Every structure is written in structure tokens, then in C-alpha cells.
Structure 1
Amino acid sequence: MNKKERVKKKPTFTQAIMPIIFMMVTLVIGVGYMKLKAEPILILIAFLAGGIAINLGYTWDEMQKGIIEKISMAMPAILILWSVGALIGSWMFSGVIPMIIYYGVEIINPKFLLVTAFLITAVFSTITGTSWGSVGTIGVAIMGIAGGLGVSLPATAGAIVAGSYFGDKLSPLSDTTNLAPLAAGAALYDHIKHMLYTTIPATIVSLTVYFIAGLGSSGAGNTAEMVSTLQNTLNSMFNWNIVLLIPVILILVGSFVKWPTIPTMLCSSLIAVLIGIFMQGFTLKNGFLSLINGFNVTMTGYEGEVIKDIMTLLNRGGAVSMAGTTILVFCAMGFAGIMSITGMLDTVLEAITRRVKSTAGIIISTIASCFTVAFVTGNSYLSILLPGQLFNSVYEKYNLQAKNLSRTLEDSGTVLVPLVPWSAAGAYMTATLGVDTLAYLPWAVLCYMGIVFAIILAFTGIGIAYIDPSKKKTN
């Protein structure tokens, strides 16, 4: 080898933390205050991280490798994004979502819509094990009901996101529920039982907030007129039949028996298109268009006047609708890839753990690490895996059972990611529900109350499981 290899330096804490601080400041000011798009800001932050990487001895090819690795990790999520977009478009085309909206506005009282939204999505996500699937199916229908009843859309979106992540956090069918104990070295069902210490109190607080908020609002003043207009319009566009529920049943069965997610969603979409053709009398061409470009009320052949609110409600879906979300993920992965391959992220995480000396300190440090990884990478898997690997031996050293670590990883990793606007989850929720991440954030109560109760348990010692010293010696 004649080529001299470049010597790579380990990043100092100052070098490692600089891009993260810059990211926090620019995103808070740019996205939060100035309402700018996040994508250019993320690219700018990646340039700063790249400059530090060059100073550390890394070449562009090496940085590009790190970026590609992160994008590769995100590809399954991106494929699901496109599949959900097609699913929403086809379910609109078939009349599945319009039928749920039609009967939902009749049955649900506006005062209890937030409570209902949380409970329905919690049950749906627990059965299916997927938060994204729950939001993209039943969540979209609930948003339609909220629009018809004049209930706050940010509040409804927050309740839907929180309910969906209840199941994502507790369901044995969920990937993150399986990943957390795997990263921590705990047993799956021990992990699920141990999470009840933080999840049940967080759920009670969530339901209380939604109940009180619901009592203070009975919907818009013209709710009855709006509901009547909505139902009459939908009734003129679609034919109602129990057959319309077949695509929903397919998703539920597929999730329960663990069929592959993407093929199941696509099969459900194609069946929905067939239902739209044979039950609604729509054309094959429009069915395929709904999969790619989304559904449009003009596909129904309805000749009456359609008010803007109803068009906004129905004209949605299609794989193309997720293009903006995909671009955001790519931009975020550019920054995350550079931070990871240069070791800057590891340096920050090591600094967090260096002075840990108590049970409360260990758990709070775990939360801080999960938050840092979630904020920097926007990836729920990384926010579980990296802190899990980092703290595994620390918990054992202080005689803390692994299920304490796995629970904390879920409380501050899995459910925190949808609150990060530039994460794949946050961008997906915004694209699917039509509400900005920062708008629904305060209402996604479960997603941050789990952290609050994790800290309370850390200081009080309640719900903290210790290793039996006698058993530890015999291992």
C-alpha cells in the first residue's frame, strides 16, 4: 500500500456536541419560530458536521458511506410510508374510510371524541402491533370524524398518535417491543409487564386530559348542519355495504398472524380498488390513480357542489403524498450518518454516562441518551439500540435488572420519536393526519408522560427491580 492512510482523530466533546447544539438552536428558531422548512436546515447542519468530520481526518467517501448506511436502515420505513399512502388512497376509493366517517359522526359524541380516539387507536395498535398502520387506517378515519364534528384537529391528532404508540409500546407483535428487551438483555413478557408501571399512570393522565378537554368543547356551533351536509354528500358519492370492511379485516388478520407488513398493505389496497370498481362503480384507471396520486372526489362522478372542508377530508392518500416525508428522512439521515461514522454521537453518549453513580442517575442518563439519539437521528430503532448497548453493563454493575433498562428505552425512545418533527415518525404523522408535529405534540400526552413517571420511579424506587445478589454470584 503506497497510499498513506489519513489518521483519524477521536472527536472531543466540544467537537461532538457542537453540531447538536447548532441543530437545536437552528431548528427551534427556523422551524419553531420562523416556520421555515426543516429540510434545508438539516442540510446546513450536515455541512457543519461534515466540516468537523474533515478536520477529524474523514473523507467525503467515508462520510457518504455513513449516510448510505443510515438511509439503508430507513428504507423499510420509507417503503411502509409509500405503502400507507397507497392504502389511504385506495381505502378512500373503495369507500372504507368514508363509511367509517359516515357512521362515526352519528355514533360518537364530540365531548368524548378525544377519549374515543385514544382508546380505539390503543386497542387497534395493540392488536396489530403497528403505530403507523393504526394512524394510517383508523386514525385517518377518526380525523375525518373530528372534522365533521368540529373537534380540534391538533388535539385529535395528538390523541391518535398517543393511542397508537400505546400499542406500539406494549404489543408483543410490535418490532420496538421486541427490540427493547433484545437490546437490554431482558425477557419479552417481563419487559411488557414491567412497562405497566409507567404506561398505566401515563394512560390515566392522558384519558383525564382528553376527558376534561372534551367537556370544554362540544364542537363547532354549526356541527349539526356540518354533519348533515357531510353525510348527505358521502351518501350521494358512495354505496354502503359490509363488504367494504374486507380490506380492514385483511390488515387486522395479517398483523395478528404476522404476515409481512408491506405485502399485506398492498394486497389490502388492491382489494380496496376492486371493491371501488365493483361496489361503487368507479373506473379501473381511477383506482390505479388513487394508489399513486391519491383519491379525488371527481372520481365518484358526483355532480353536486362539494364544500371545501369535505374535499380536504376526502382528497388525500397516494404514494406520491409521502414524497415530502421521504425527502425529510433523507436529509435527516445525512446528518445522522456523519454523526455516527465519525464517532461524534458515541462521544456525546459516553460523556452522559461518565458521572453516573446512583439508580436515579442511571435512569435519567438513559433517558437523556435516548432523547439525544432520537433528536439527532430521528430513528426509533437507534434510540433503543445505541443507549441499550451503552447502558447494558452499567445496569448490571449497579444490580439493576435488565427489564429496568428495556422499560426506560421504550419510555424515552420509542414514544419520543413521533414528537421530533424531522424524524420519519414525526413526518409520517404530519403527512398522514394533516397536522404539524409541533401542533399535536402537547396533546400526545402518553408520549411524554411515560418519561415523567420513569423519573418519578427512579427517585422513589417504586417499580425498580434489583438483581438478587445470591443469584448473581451463581451465574
Structure 2
Amino acid sequence: MKKQHKDEEYKSFLGLTPLIVFLVIFMSTGAITKSFTNMPILVGFMFVLAYSLCLNRKGEKLSLDEKIEIFSRGGGESTIILMVVIFILAGAFYSVANAMGSVESTVNLGLSILPTKAILPGVFIIGCIISFAMGTSMGTITALTPIAVGMSQQTGIALPLIVGTVVGGAMFGDNLSFVSDTTIAATRTQGVELKDKFKMNGLIVLPAVIVTLIILACIPIGNASIKVGAYSLLKVLPYVSIIICALIGFNVMVVLAVGILTGSVLGLALGSFNVVQLFGFIQRGFGWMQDLSLIAIVIGGIIELMKYYGGIGFLLDKVTSRVKSKKGAEAGIAALASLIDLATANNTISIVTAGPLAKDISEEYDIDPRRTASILDIFSSAFQGLVPYGGQLLVAAGLAKISPVQLMPYSIYSILMIVFGALSIILGIPRFKRQSN
């Protein structure tokens, strides 16, 4: 037990250097090749893993086997394994839906309903609604990305733009939904009610939603002639099923399983494939997500090594030591959540890690705990929608078959969350009356 406590308290800049090494490799490759999409994410992190295994704490030296054990513990952490299962189920669903014509029918139905100029705002709004109901950005991205890809092919809208719009809508619910794990983590660590955090959080990000819709409505999508093809309402049912399950509040794995089952039964009934072909399509979907699964596992292991080497402790210490005023305290909480999310690529872990320290800071500087919970959730969710090695951009890019780096500039809502979150801190708004304890 003493050793575990010592591990948690250990702080060292050395523990942050694996992340710095990745950024150097990534930026250098992009600068040399003049394209930031040329560096494969998995290859980059394998270099980082090799570097991480060469490190040691000051005055302490572990064997390679012991370091690999730490790496394996992080890569096999329950959240990582759950993410991997979601990845492969998402691939299977997309593959089956595509094979039975569900994607094409859903795209054509959407194009027949949405005017051309309203496609981008429409996709964003739908993403916001589904993610708010489902409470998870991953499930929303899984459901909408294939449809967005089809719309891009039909309309000529740039693929990174429309898929980035999906990611933005997904992060809306990830941040605000009552059933989102980030919302639950933020409210529990600060001891506030869900509805109170929602009111504070909602007022901060509402301008970001409005400005996002205006920007999307103003983006020219060319003079592409949209030819709306035929669609079958029956073939749309796999997507309808996962949306209904999401609205009911089922676990994302159950949602995807229902979607796969619905697509499989309908595909067999309509003669789109036989049982043997169905198994092949499911396996094909698994294969599409193998790279993403490996990336998630490797990142999880590297993060565990970074924790052991003191990187996360170093971050916490440096940010909190610079807090001098109430406004600075709020900025410190935002920086804490953001930096830990960048280091761990997991906004829930970011909130859980930063939450107790943020509570201490808010009490010392008399910050409304509803505001603290909102700041934690807004900034961690915003950066989660922008990091190219985070699960959200990885799964969206995997389904769209593009680099996650291409999505970063088009996650417009995530960027605006940071902008309006920062303005909220600078201007000290919204102002609510403090609740009596």
C-alpha cells in the first residue's frame, strides 16, 4: 500500500516526455513531407513505446519485464478493453449495414428531407440530439459517420468537413447529457446536482452551438448536383433501431448489438446475403477496426507508464502551483482538465483525476462548485473532440477511412467550446446566486 501511495505522489517532467516525443515525431514528419496525414498514428506510438521502455525514475531502475508489466496493466485497463469492443462492434455494424444497403437508403432518405444548404447544420443538430439522448459520443459517431460518408459521396461535401461536423455534434452530448459519464464524474467530484451543472454548462456552450450552426450554414458546399436515389424504409431500420435504443438509454454495446442483429435479419430476409456471407461481412468489419483497437491498447499502456514515471503528477503540481486569484483558479482548473486529457486521451479519466484537486481549488477561492463541474467537463470534452489519438477521432476516421488529423480543423463545435469556455472565465459569466449548503 505504501508503494502504491508513493507511485501516486511521484512527480517528474520525465514522465511527460513520451507525449512530447510523439508530438515531435508527428510534427517533424508533417513538416518534412508537407502533410500531417503522412505519419501513421500507430507507428508513431510504437516509437514512443520503445522510448518509454528505456526510461527510469530517478534513483530507481526497473527491469524491462517490470516495465512491460506496467504497460500491459494500462493497455488491459477496463476502459481500454471496452473501447476496443465498441470499435469492433462499430465496424461490424457498418459492414453489415453497408452490405444490406442500409447506408445507401439512409443517405438517400436524409438527402430527400434536408435541403442542400441545410445538410451540415442538419447533421450537427441530429448529432447533438442523439448524443444528448445516448450520453456517449462514441455511439453517436458510430451511428452517423457512415451516413455522413454517404452524403459526402452524393453531394461533393468534403469528407473531413462533414465527418468533423458529426464529431462536433457527438461532443455536445458527451459534455451535456445527463447520462454521460463525464457529466456524472464532474458532478460527483464537485458534489453538485446534475440539473444544476446542466444549467450552468448549457449557458456557457449555448453561444458555441449557435455560432457553429451559423458557420456550417455559411460554408459553401459547391454547386454539386444532388441526385437523390431510391431508398427503402425497411433498409433504414438498422439505423432506426440503434437510434431508438440510444434514446431509451441502452448501453452503447447493446445499441450496436441490436443494430448488427437488425441488419443481419433484414439482410437475410431481403436476400442481400446468405449466412456464410453474413459471417464474412461481420469479420470484414472487425478487420476495419484492428488498427484502431491496437492504437487504443498501446496508448493505454503508454499512459500507465507516464503515470509511473510521474508525468501526470508533474502536470497536477505545476498547474496548481500557479494559481493566485479566483479567475486564475478557474483558468487553472480548465488547464488541468485540458492537459490531462491531452496526456491521457480520455476525458472521463481527465475529470476523475483533476476533480479532487479542482474541488480543493474551488473551495479555497470560493468558486461555485456548479461552475467548477462545468469547466472540468467543457474543457476535457472539447479537447477530446480534437486530439487525433483520442477514441472519438480515431473511430470517426476509421469509419471514413481518412486520417484523424484531417478531422481536427473541422471539429468546429469542439474548437468553439474552448473559445466560449475561455470567454466565460475571462468575463466571469454566467453569474448564478450561490447555493446555500
With the length of structure 1 as denominator, give the TM-score of the two structures.
Answer: 0.82
Q: Deviations over 1:291-315 (max 9, x none)?
A: 121xxxxxxxxxxxxxxxxxxxxxx
Paired AA for residue 261 in structure 1: V
- Select which of 341, 356, 361 maps to 2:328: 361
1:415 match: secondary structure: helix
CA shift in 2, pair 1:20/1:136, >3 Å: closer
Paired AA for residue 402 in structure 1: P
Matched, 1:63 2:67: yes
Contact 2:106–2:147 (CA<8 Å) still a contact in 1? yes
Contact 2:84–2:293 (CA<8 Å) still a contact in 1? yes
Q: Quote the sequence identity (%).
A: 20
Paired AA for residue 68 in structure 1: S
CA shift in 2, pair 1:411/1:281, >3 Å: closer
Distance 1:75 1:99 in 2: 33
Unaligned runs of 5+ in 2: 1-5
Distance 1:250 1:190 in 2: 32
Superposition pairs of residues 209-224 of structure 1, within 5 angstroms: 209-213=215-219, 216-220=220-224, 223-224=225-226
Distance 2:197 2:333 in 1: 16
2:306 maps to what in 1? 339
- Backbone CA RMSD of aligned residues: 2.5
1:84 maps to what in 2? 90
- Select which of 36, 44, 47 maps to 2:47: 44
2:262 maps to what in 1? 271
Distance 1:82 1:430 in 2: 14
1:310 maps to what in 2? none
- Select which of 391, 395, 417 maps to 1:428: 395
* TM superposition shift of 1:218: 3.2
Which stretch of structure 1 is more off in the superposition, 392-401 or 104-113? 104-113
Structure of larger gyration radius: 1
2:60 match: secondary structure: coil
- Select which of 278, 293, 318 maps to 1:287: 278
* TM superposition shift of 1:323: 0.4
Q: Deviations over 1:5-44 (max 9, x none)?
A: xx98976644344444333322222357542212232233
- Select which of 324, 329, 348 maps to 1:381: 348
Distance 2:372 2:242 in 1: 32
Distance 1:219 1:457 in 2: 39
* TM superposition shift of 1:351: 1.0
Contact 2:42–2:291 (CA<8 Å) still a contact in 1? no
Name which structure has the greater RCO, CA cutoff 8 Å, separation 6+.
Answer: 2
Superposition pairs of residues 17-416 of structure 1, within 5 angstroms: 17-30=16-29, 34=33, 35-59=38-62, 60-71=64-75, 72=77, 73-213=79-219, 216-220=220-224, 223-224=225-226, 227=227, 231=229, 241-293=232-284, 318-416=285-383
CA shift in 2, pair 1:431/1:358, >3 Å: same
Q: Deviations over 1:145-176 (max 9, x none)?
A: 12201112111111111011112221212222
Unaligned runs of 5+ in 1: 1-6, 294-317
Distance 1:8 1:83 in 2: 36
Contact 1:420–1:426 (CA<8 Å) still a contact in 2? yes
Distance 2:133 2:16 in 1: 40
Matched, 1:452 2:410: no
CA shift in 2, pair 1:283/1:17, >3 Å: closer
1:51 match: secondary structure: coil
Distance 1:451 1:121 in 2: 19
* TM superposition shift of 1:322: 0.5
CA shift in 2, pair 1:248/1:217, >3 Å: closer
CA shift in 2, pair 1:30/1:292, >3 Å: same
Distance 1:430 1:205 in 2: 25
